[in-house]
Amino acid sequence: MSDGITWLTDAWRGDAPILFVTFARGISPGDLVVRLGARPGHVLDPITFAEAERLTFNDRESARVARFGECAGWSYAVEQGWPSKAWWAHSDVSAGGVEVLHLTPKPDDPPRECWYYRDGQTVGRFDIGDTPDDGMAFLLPAFEEAGFLDDDVSEEFDTLRATLTALQQHFGLSLPRQEILNGRLPAVVTATVPPENLGD
């Protein structure tokens, strides 16, 4: 059974508030992390979430670390440390016909954001918890199915979980929860120094 991505709701609100997530379709996981800033061929031994966290805070050569893999037909990278290069209109991560979806949690500067790139272009973005519009309006049917557009939405309605449900449904996304939170995954350094600009 697929884990989906709705478990990020609990992770972001719990022990993993700074987990930056990037999905890519059309390139391998290794190529994805290179586009996110890793040096080609410089792959670390598989590490845990806690070990990646320690690297980004204790190792001066690791301002940002990505663990990576493949799931449900998408390459994925989960980054810890400074914000991901896939954030803030860095559409070059999708050059060459690649499709990229990036979720940034922004724990210190909400709201969380979703960015979508395709073939070197920024298709659109929206604040997670809001209804997508403009370039992302194609997601509205999935948001409606998730109950986001109901007229009588209660105050207890979980907009974060509903947004992730809609993205999961539309794009067919899934992430291996136990491997990411408690297991070991191959890792790379995607930034050696804190970026000067958003998404560097």
Residue pair 122/138 in contact (Cβ under 8 Å)? The answer is: no
Cis-peptide into 111, omega within 30 deg: yes
Dump pLDDT digits (tens) for 7-36.
Answer: 999 999 998 888 999 999 999 999 999 999
In a domain, 39, yes or no: yes
Residue pair 80/185 in contact (Cβ under 8 Å)? The answer is: no
CATH number (domain holding residue 88)? 3.30.70.1270
HSE-up of 40 (CA within 13 Å, CB side)? 2
- Stronger pLDDT, 9 or 153, i.e. the higher one: 9
pLDDT of residue 1 exceeding 90, the answer is: no
Domain encompassing residue 45: 8-191
In a domain, 2, yes or no: no
In a domain, 147, yes or no: yes
Dump pLDDT digits (tens) for 64-115.
Answer: 999 999 999 999 999 999 889 999 878 899 999 999 999 999 888 889 999 9
In a domain, 199, yes or no: no
Number of domains in the chain: 1
Which element (helix H / strand E) includes 52?
helix 49-58
* Reported confidence tier of residue 133, pLDDT bands at 50, 70, 90: confident
